Amino acid sequence: MFTATTEMKLYTKTGDDGSTGLFGGGRVRKDHARIEAYGTVDEANAAIGLAAVACGPGPCAAIGEVLHTIQGRLFDLGADLATPHGAPHEEKVRRVAQGDVAELERWIDQFDGDNVPLRTFVLPGGTEAAARLHFARTVVRRAERATLRLSAEEPVGEFVVPVLNRLGDLLFAMARAANRLSGVEDVPWNP
């Protein structure tokens, strides 16, 4: 994990030409597929932060606690995406692994276990927490698509896409659980 050892200014001016530095060296344009992928993961992290705030304290506080843990994991995933394979100092980056996928699956089982089985599609809504969780889910799905575009151009970690895929599933299960725990029914889609 990266630890800052010296004070850093917020602005460096090095990106004024439209480029940004990658961990381990090298610069790419800010619209490069790698930047789009980890930038969208960062956006997902912010959306998850909004959901976490809406979850606690209250009936869905346990969801908020897991969301805070996930936010830290997304920093690891972002660092994984920001570090091309074979880059200098690659050993300092925690690559996401099968254990991360398994952890997400355990949380899916935990939060979806008491949800009523789905009989129809549900609309994002019900409680504010559920709506924010659904919003976060859509941003995670966009991060997953951006990562797939990157993977068509350059190698990405074996478990990055599965982690994003499971995270989208988890956020859906959590949104339904947030409604259930608040005594609010999911909003069914009536075609």
Asked if residue 182 belongs to a domain, the reply is yes
Asked if residue 168 belongs to a domain, the reply is yes
Asked if residue 120 belongs to a domain, the reply is yes
Give residue 150's domain range.
29-188
Q: Which residues pair with 27 in a beta bridge?
A: 21
How far apart are alpha carbons 30 and 39 in whole angstroms?
Answer: 10
Q: What is the pLDDT of residue 25?
A: 66
Q: What is the pLDDT of residue 24?
A: 66
Strand, coil or helix: 28: strand
Asked if residue 112 belongs to a domain, the reply is yes
Asked if residue 165 belongs to a domain, the reply is yes
Asked if residue 102 belongs to a domain, the reply is yes
Q: How many distinct structural domains can be found in the chain?
A: 1
Asked if residue 2 belongs to a domain, the reply is no
**pTM of the full predicted structure?**
0.89
Asked if residue 60 belongs to a domain, the reply is yes
User: Looking at residue 47, which CATH number applies to its domain?
Assistant: 1.20.1200.10
How far apart are alpha carbons 144 and 168 in whole angstroms?
Answer: 9
Positions in the chain whose pLDDT score sits under 70 = 1-5, 14-17, 19-25, 28-30
